[in-house]
Amino acid sequence: MTATADQLIDQLTLEEQVSLLSGEDFWSLPAVPRLGIGKLRVTDGPNGARGSGSLIGGVTAAAFPVGIAIGATWDPALAREIGSAIAEEVRSKGAHVSLAPTVNIHRSVTNGRNFECYSEDPALASALAVGYIRGLQSQGVAATIKHFAGNESEIERTTIDSVIPERALREIYLRPFEAAVKEAGTWAVMSSYNKLNGTYAAENRWLLTTVLRGDWGFDGVVMSDWFGSRTTAPTVNAGLDLEMPGPTRDRGAKLLAAVETGEVARATVRQRALNVLRLMERTGALEDRGSFEERAEDRPAHRALIRRAGAAGCVLLKNEGLLPLPAEPGRLAVIGPNARTARIMGGGSAQLNPHYSVSPWEGLAARLGEARLDYAPGCDNHRWEPLLRTALTAEYFDNTELSGAPVHEEELDEAQAFWVPPIAGGKVTPGAFSARLTGTFTAESSGLHRFGLHSAGYSRLYADGALVVDAWSNWQKGRTFFEEGCDEVTGDLELERGQTVEITIEFAARPGDNLHLSAFRAGIGRPLGDAEISAAAEAARAADTALVFVGRSGEWDTEGSDLEDIALPGRQDELVAAVARANPRTVVVLQTGGPVEMPWAGDVAAILQAWYPGQEAGSAIADVLFGDAEPGGRLPQSFPVRWSDNPTASDDPEVYPGKDGQVRYAEGLFIGYRHYEAKGIAPLYPFGHGLSYSTFALSGLTAETATGGAMARITVENTGPRHGTTVVQLYVAPPEMAERPLKTLEAFAKLDLAPGERREIHLTLPPRAFARFDGDAQGWIIDPGRYRLMAGLSATDIHETMEIEMQAATLPL
């Protein structure tokens, strides 16, 4: 019989207890063979399970919809299904813990990681997080909810101090974490890189012990983000159980010394180790004696779920009767930079090597055949030049001068690498090696070719021996590779069609400033211009319907780099305008990780926001365009008309993007729809908005107080001619008083109804739905008075209202 965590803890020596408090390598904890304790292994999430490979390549895995696409489903039950399926993916990668979900709030519209998070609203984010965690942990795989807390931007994210009033923390930014602990019982929490009100999250005792363990009763593991802990005694004493990744930097011998000098109590080390053992017990790692194996399991059930979930998150923003397309649509012009490229996920630690990916072109062709489709790219939307995909021989040197004989040689199939230890089979020193990569490139057409290169480390690119790109001589840190890399450096070269040039890329590592990694990426592209936009307009003019696929990609929506604005990159706005002038039957399909400005919105017949819906992207989009599936999504984030309307637009850079190492959440509670309503700013598309292929009516809103809160009832009817999906949203407006939002989302329900079907639904409003956090009292207060309940189909589309009287009350933390 396997010993329990409580039985094992006191059998461990102090040294063995300390060994469990830091990683052995990038993805695992050390075993304790003496007691039969195996390795605990973790893997990145949240839209799949990458396994132990780097961010590039590795064993293939299923790519599920990203966080904001799950947020757009407004469907906690579906989130639970996804979590359960991803648990199977985690097991296929030999891991016990998923580093997911990501639940930071959409504070700004330009956060590079918005795609990975659910919503601007804490109630919606909380419900989805609870569903996802319950799904994961029902299969014995631990969730690691992240990033705790105040990581709402990617600018200087490893060092920035997020200054957030406690009331805003409690009511907004901590709320999904609290729900994860109290409702879902999450087994792990990841601390964020940033400081919170002056103290790094990984050593913030108020956050990790007072709130997390004291107020909420958390009994799991708190682990650092990768390289996100910086000290020994302060992190251990604050409540950080696990330093990741390994090998240790601040635990091990340093922690043993801290115990010896009395900086850390033996009882504290014991409790930290017990928390780790408990996590191992919960996930089966204590008794996992099997050999480590990673498998690529392309499951039909996962394919079907990803396709269904992708459609469920698609938001129909506008439709002037053009959608759904008929079964026989005539000729379709398929236009845009995202038409033949599958945009399935964002960038950073969430990315993985998918089993496959379906582009919109492939999804449409599978339904109609290519003979009915005409293609025109129109323009490009890349942030970096298209990746050079060619065979490269990489020679590694255990020095930074490319000198002497190479110590290791390997083959790459593309011009990018993300190196984490062990590098080159462990034959080079991380942070102090160099590499030379050689291959060839053959031009497919004549004209100007643009070569691009960026790197975490120094790099340069030669073509036939001539230096074309120099990212070495004047290297400066920029916004790539988690803020450890330079911005892309480019160089131009005229080439003839069929001309082959020899490519040589030289790289030398440099010590990381905050994260310890080495990486490079090289690409070659052909700039597009006026001729391509004109050709796209002509294709649209000749077609019955024009489908324009525009947006961004994981190059833009990525961890480690905020967006500079929310305009569509490149000349995409010009492209959409030109196509709309040529054909009024134009449908725009957007793929982005958040809002974009749409100066052409009034000129097109339909707009569909498809996000990054996973490996079945093109299939899910085609299902929605032709009405095989409902556009089931509703906006989880408000879309402003322009960037300057958003809650973090300010004349004070300290509010956003930050100044002198500090970002101040001066807007307090007024983010998202709360901001637009308080300021009287009309959004382009409001929070909760989304059209169905049917119509719905709400009636008969009633409510009565119950168990300190209230129970509301409302009738929903499908008044349209076909089966449809809608989301009933219930907002609560407080009695008039200062510093409270005019209304907040407190309950919702997603329904599928047949034509003419009526259904009464019940929506529970717990006491906290009426409460505010009082910092002086250090508790939740319900102010007495009449609260207004508002039921509708978006934050601005309210159908039914009523008032309910609430008595004064003080609620427990």
Q: Give tens-digit pLDDT for 205-238.
A: 999 999 999 999 999 999 999 999 999 999 999 9
- Is residue 431 in some structural domain? yes
Nearest-CA neighbor of 549 among 333, 277, 241, 284? Answer: 333
CA distance 540 to 332: 8
Nearest-CA neighbor of 634 among 689, 592, 685? Answer: 689
- Is residue 306 in some structural domain? no
Q: Where in 638-784 does DSSP place strands (E)?
A: 662-664, 696-706, 709-718, 724-733, 744-753, 758-765, 771-774, 779-782
Residue 168: left (phi > 0), alpha (psi -120 to 50), or beta?
alpha
Report the pLDDT averaged over residues 155-177.
Answer: 97
- What would the 3-class secondary structure string for 106-124 be? CCCCCCCCHHHCCCCCHHH
Compute the CA torsion angle 763, 767, 773, 775 (nearest 10 deg).
Answer: -170
pLDDT at position 485: 97
CA distance 358 to 367: 13
- Is residue 116 in some structural domain? no
| Contact between 650 and 717 (Cβ < 8 Å) | no
Side chain identity at residue 48, one-letter code: G
Judgement on whether residues 609 and 635 belong to the same structural domain of the protein: yes
pLDDT at position 539: 98
Report the pLDDT averaged over residues 550-571.
Answer: 97
Judgement on whether residues 573 and 655 belong to the same structural domain of the protein: yes
Instruction: Show which of 483, 503, 525 is a domain's final residue.
Output: 525
We report the CATH number of the domain holding residue 673 as: 3.40.50.1700
Judgement on whether residues 664 and 736 belong to the same structural domain of the protein: no
- Is residue 759 in some structural domain? yes
Judgement on whether residues 569 and 671 belong to the same structural domain of the protein: yes
We report the CATH number of the domain holding residue 791 as: 2.60.40.10
pLDDT at position 738: 65
Judgement on whether residues 797 and 668 belong to the same structural domain of the protein: no
Beta bridge partners of residue 759, listed in sequence order: 716
Confidence of residue 812 (pLDDT cuts 50, 70, 90): confident
Could you list the active site residues?
Answer: 225
Beta bridge partners of residue 714, listed in sequence order: 761
User: Does position 737 have pLDDT exceeding 80, yes or no?
Assistant: no
User: Does position 1 have pLDDT exceeding 90, yes or no?
Assistant: no
pLDDT at position 84: 98
- Is residue 113 in some structural domain? no
Q: Give tens-digit pLDDT for 618-629.
A: 999 999 999 999
pLDDT at position 57: 87
Side chain identity at residue 649, one-letter code: A
Judgement on whether residues 463 and 586 belong to the same structural domain of the protein: no
Confidence of residue 300 (pLDDT cuts 50, 70, 90): very high
Instruction: Show which of 620, 653, 679 is a domain's final residue.
Output: 679
We report the CATH number of the domain holding residue 505 as: 2.60.120.260
- Is residue 157 in some structural domain? no
Q: Give tens-digit pLDDT for 438-463.
A: 999 999 999 999 999 999 999 999 99
Beta bridge partners of residue 590, listed in sequence order: 550, 609
Judgement on whether residues 702 and 797 belong to the same structural domain of the protein: yes
- Is residue 91 in some structural domain? no
Scored b (16 or more CB within 10 A) or e, 338-359 reads: bbebbbbbbbbbbbbbbbebbb
Report the pLDDT averaged over residues 708-737.
Answer: 96
Beta bridge partners of residue 10, listed in sequence order: none
Mean pLDDT score of the chain, rounded to an integer? 97
User: Does position 24 have pLDDT exceeding 70, yes or no?
Assistant: yes
Report how far apart the first and last C-alpha atoms of the chain are (Å, whole number): 40
Q: Which domain holds residue 742?
A: 696-811
CA distance 371 to 388: 30
Neighbour-count burial of 248, counting CB atoms closer than 10 A to its CB (0-12 exposed, 13-18 middle, 19+ buried): buried
Confidence of residue 290 (pLDDT cuts 50, 70, 90): confident
Domain count, the chain: 4
Confidence of residue 630 (pLDDT cuts 50, 70, 90): very high
Report the pLDDT averaged over residues 417-438.
Answer: 95
| Contact between 701 and 800 (Cβ < 8 Å) | yes
3-state secondary structure of 613: coil
Judgement on whether residues 470 and 398 belong to the same structural domain of the protein: yes
Kindly report the backbone phi and psi dihedral angles of residue 499, in degrees, each rounded to the nearest multiple of 5, phi listed first: -70, 135
3-state secondary structure of 786: strand
Nearest-CA neighbor of 509 among 435, 438, 408, 406? Answer: 435
Check residue 396 and report its DSSP letter: E
Residue 422's alpha-carbon distances to 40, 86, 195, 518, 520, in angstroms, are: 19, 27, 30, 12, 17
Confidence of residue 291 (pLDDT cuts 50, 70, 90): confident
The helix (run of H) or strand (run of E) holding residue 504 is strand 500-508
Judgement on whether residues 547 and 519 belong to the same structural domain of the protein: no
Judgement on whether residues 724 and 801 belong to the same structural domain of the protein: yes
- Is residue 544 in some structural domain? yes
User: Does position 183 have pLDDT exceeding 70, yes or no?
Assistant: yes
Structure tokens at 163: 């200054």
pLDDT at position 54: 81
3-state secondary structure of 378: coil
Judgement on whether residues 506 and 436 belong to the same structural domain of the protein: yes
Q: Which residues contact 493 (CB under 8 A, 6 or more apart)?
A: 448, 449, 451, 463, 468, 501
Instruction: Show which of 490, 525, 560 is a domain's final residue.
Output: 525
Q: Which residues contact 747 (CB under 8 A, 6 or more apart)?
A: 123, 712, 729, 730, 763, 764, 765, 769
pLDDT at position 279: 98
Judgement on whether residues 558 and 674 belong to the same structural domain of the protein: yes
